[in-house]
A = this chain, B = another copy of it.
Amino acid sequence: METLPLSPVTTTTSSALYLPQVHPLISGKWRLSLIYSLRGGTLRYGEIRRMHPQISEKVLVYELKDLTELGAVERIAYRSMPPRVDYKLTPKGQLVLQLIGHLQQTEQAMQVG
């Protein structure tokens, strides 16, 4: 990934909140849960589906596609019979995983406080 100059970011965050890469990954109902489910490493599509019985198959496919396009998840398709598709976190997904640790700490502080 290309290194971007830092000055525009610093200038913008001084007046408004500027989170173009992080915000789409933490918003929405399922994205954080899906990233969190990949914390142990690579999972097959069927494993992710069984871990999220409350998500419809249509929404799950859509969300995994979005997470792949946003660069948080890598999709690995094998030319096997039956077909096999794996998913794993990218370095960007790992950064979100670290963030989830902070989110859990904040959640606990809110529940106690």
Contact = CB atoms under 8 A, between A and B. Distances in A.
Interface residues of A, number: 41
Contact of A19 (B17, B92, B107): B107
B107 A22 contact: yes
A76 to B, nearest CB: 21
Copies in the complex: 2
19 contacts: A1-B113, A3-B112, A4-B111, A6-B108, A9-B107, A9-B108, A16-B33, A17-B32, A17-B104, A18-B107, A19-B32, A20-B107, A21-B111, A23-B103, A26-B26, A26-B27, A27-B28, A27-B29, A92-B110
Interface of A: 1, 3-4, 6, 9, 13, 16-23, 26-29, 32-33, 36-37, 51, 91-92, 95-96, 98-100, 102-104, 106-113
